[in-house]
Amino acid sequence: MTDSLSRVLKAIKPLDESAMAAARKRQDSLTKPLGSLGRLEELSIKIAGIRGEPMPKLEHKAIVTMAADHGVVAEGVSLYPQEVSRQMVLNFLRGYAAINVLASQVGARVAVVDMGVIGGFPPNPGLLCRMIDFGTGNMALGPAMSRQQAIDALEAGIEVVEAEMSKGLDIVATGDMGIGNTTASSAICAVITSEPVEKVTGRGAGIDDEQLMHKVDIIKRALEINQPDSKDSIDVLAKVGGFEIGGLAGVILAAAAHRIPVVIDGFISGAAALIAAGLSPQVKDYLIAAHVSAEAGHRVLLDFLGLRPLLDLEMRLGEGSGAALGIFLVEASVNILAGMATFNEAGVSEAEIPMEAKQSEEGG
């Protein structure tokens, strides 16, 4: 393990309990029935613990959308040709994709990162080049990448977050682009959660029943050939992962190390979270699951990580589209915490506690 990755892993600490206690105390004193804003209250308290601030502000927001190609596409696991990965990155750079629209809606910037798209791109001020290689190897024939490439992908994600911090970064969201990446994500999910391949493999961009059976067979073949070690996240990433999945895992780790909340998008971001949590279980406390997607394995991996999705909109686009909506809810939660008046500040009478409850509290 290299110095950069080791440094980040050592820097990931537990949430700030004192900040959470202060945030909880304020939530309980705001002008509303106790707990009436439900999970928005929980969210604000969690963000306080992540940021180490009783009343955090989320002024600077970024969505990191990473793109890469996958060699396993040669096995016919996707409806779309491989060149769509490159075409969609160009669409991101022109500002015409769903992620551009939704990021603008929530006031977030989009950092588009080329982690290994076949063909590459001409220089573009809107594109970060962190290319590991021109796509992964075909995992149905052998490892998707070398162990060193897996580490390089993780470190590229770390570098992206630390560069974004220089522009101001209070919250980060993850997004992806890469034809074939649900195949890699299903393989990662099956290995780490120990669930059957059939249970965690979905239709991706919309394959039919026969193609789905073929996709399951290809993943099983990849797992049989490569024998990834479920206890070694870097091995799993190297054997059956993707460069953008490794990069997003690095984004998650770096954000946690710097006490920045991470809003994860769909199935591919979830696979990256599995890799990151395998390297540092503490990282799970820094994750907010924006939504549960229509992909079969997404709910499985969220349950494994102990995360409750904020939304269930049957989305399966990727790009960071669901994460953008998650940012909106997170920001709403902290704005409530800071912006609402307490009963005392507003001169509003609080709920009366029954005498029996008072006596119970006084008695311990």
Active site members: 319
Q: How far apart are CA 177 and CA 45, in angstroms?
A: 32
Q: How far apart are CA 143 and CA 313, in angstroms?
A: 35
φ/ψ of 185, rounded to 5, equals -65, -40
176 membership: H or E segment, kind and range: strand 171-177
Q: How far apart are CA 232 and CA 229, in angstroms?
A: 5
DSSP state of 62: E
Helical residues (DSSP H) of the chain, grouped into ranges: 3-11, 17-29, 39-51, 84-94, 98-106, 147-165, 181-193, 197-200, 209-226, 233-240, 243-257, 267-279, 298-305, 321-339, 343-346, 355-362
The burial of 90, by beta-carbon neighbours within 10 Å (0-12 exposed, 13-18 middle, 19 or more buried), is given as middle
